[in-house]
Amino acid sequence: MVEIKLHNTKSRRKEVFEPIDPENVRMYVCGPTVYDRAHIGNARPVIVFDVLFRLLRHVYGADHVTYVRNFTDVDDKINARAAESGRSIGEITAETTQWYLDDMAEVGALEPSHMPRATAYIAQMVTMIEDLIARGHAYAAEGHVLFSVESYKDYGRLSGRAVDDMIAGARVEVAPYKRNPMDFVLWKPSNADVPGWQSPWGRGRPGWHIECSAMSFELLGAEFDIHGGGNDLMFPHHENEIAQSCCAHPEGKFARFWLHNEMLQVEGKKMSKSLGNFFTVRDLLDQGVPGEVIRFVFLSTHYGKPMDWTEKKAREAEATLRKWRSMTDGVEAVEVSPAALEALADDLNTAGVITELHRLAGAGEAGALKATAGLLGLLTDEIGGWATVPAADLSALEAKLAAAREAAMASKDFSEVDHLKSALLAAGVEVRMSKAGVELLPGAGFDAAKLEGL
């Protein structure tokens, strides 16, 4: 049996992973709030935990791994989107849920074993909230139900925060019905304009955190193996999940391993709409960036480190994948490389696996290359259609630009060089000129039609 080691956020160290039940290895990952397209940062945990899912299936067997990833389809952002668009909440969530599934399939993610929607588990949430009140961990006030943070002595352990320090620096809603400013909402009242369900505390809807606790308990039990998500969810979402789950079901320890992926940057900067570097997965796909290329770039950086998305990385990934696909076309996959499996089992060292893939390609071991890449969800038939489109042959234009540059050096008239460069840039081609010569590289938005007549 392959020994898997994972960095456990809870213990802050790498630990040997031993499942509670090897016949049913269980993992829960926080999914999206469905009100819009998934941006590329949303895709990182999907790809990271898809690789872990594949590794667990490889080691324990596909029939012995249960993976749950939820959809949050009741949320104030969804309500706001419905109000501003005039569309129904059900219509919006149905559309955006399908968008998410389509986009994640494009980047090669397998569908989880279960994809529960929060609105299908309202009854279970109400039951859990009632249990928390009965056990003295929650209280009702003015149509709300709140979790009492002081009632759970280990609150803050996951994120390494002390409750007193959190209260001192709290940026939380100050409400007269809260006993403690850190107490968080389990249930809140709904007016006639937003979704609501009948409950012992009146018509209302659940708070965000309770849904994951209720759904994970229903589908995975009081204690399961792995809980994952982005590190932006560590506090307060995951901290609150732990508190309410352990208090409602003290017979279990909730999740034994916690894994968190780091955030994503674009060209060295934090992604934001104000910087103009914010884009969705669908934006990239529509610009001609294959989903497999997105996946490759993401996996080139360890999940525990910040990842920088750049056009250069995307171009290099596309070139590599084209070469590997030409090598493995029609080749039968053989055994996964032991070195690659060892790297992946060492806290998902995907960059180490890619290094081994380069070695296999260099050695001409096509069968092992195909099998090993498949462990990362690369070189699969499901996401390989893009590679059947031939890469652009810009050699003639490279020669033409090189000749124009040589002539310009003699005549000092660079107008033709400037004309060619402008046309190439407008077509989405990066122009590199050096003493070694001219190199043209199609970018993500490459449009060959704009080069006609050059």
For residue 62, the number of C-alpha atoms closer than 13 Å in the C-beta half-sphere is 4
Per the prediction, the chain carries an average pLDDT of 93
- pLDDT tens profile 285-329: 999 999 999 999 999 999 999 999 999 999 999 999 999 999 999
Position 308, amino acid: D
> What confidence category does residue 444 fall into, taking pLDDT thresholds of 50, 70 and 90?
low
- Please report, as a single letter, which amino acid is at residue 29: V
Between CA 212 and CA 243 the distance in angstroms is: 12
**How many angstroms separate the CA atoms of 209 and 33, rounded?**
12
Q: Is 381 exposed, middle or buried (0-12, 13-18, 19+ CB in 10 A)?
A: exposed
Q: Tell me what the mean pLDDT of segment 223-245 comes to.
A: 97
pLDDT of residue 171: 54
pTM of the model: 0.87
End-to-end CA distance of the chain: 60
Residues 12-47 have pLDDT tens digits of: 999 999 999 999 999 999 999 999 999 999 999 999
Residue type, position 444, single letter: A
How far apart are alpha carbons 378 and 64 in whole angstroms? 23
Q: Do residues 440 and 427 make contact, with C-beta atoms less than 8 angstroms apart? A: no
Gyration radius from the chain CA atoms: 26
Q: How far apart are CA 317 and CA 299, in angstroms?
A: 11
C-alpha to C-alpha distance for 16 and 342, rounded to whole angstroms: 13
Encode pLDDT of 372-417 as tens digits: 999 999 999 999 888 876 666 788 888 899 999 999 999 999 999 9
Q: What CATH number belongs to 5-261?
A: 3.40.50.620
Q: How confident is the model at residue 439 (pLDDT cuts 50, 70, 90)?
A: confident
Give domain limits for the chain: 5-261, 264-388, 395-451
User: What are the tokens at 312?
Assistant: 């250069």
Q: Tell me how far apart the alpha carbons of residues 209 and 243 are, in angstroms, rounded to a whole number.
A: 10
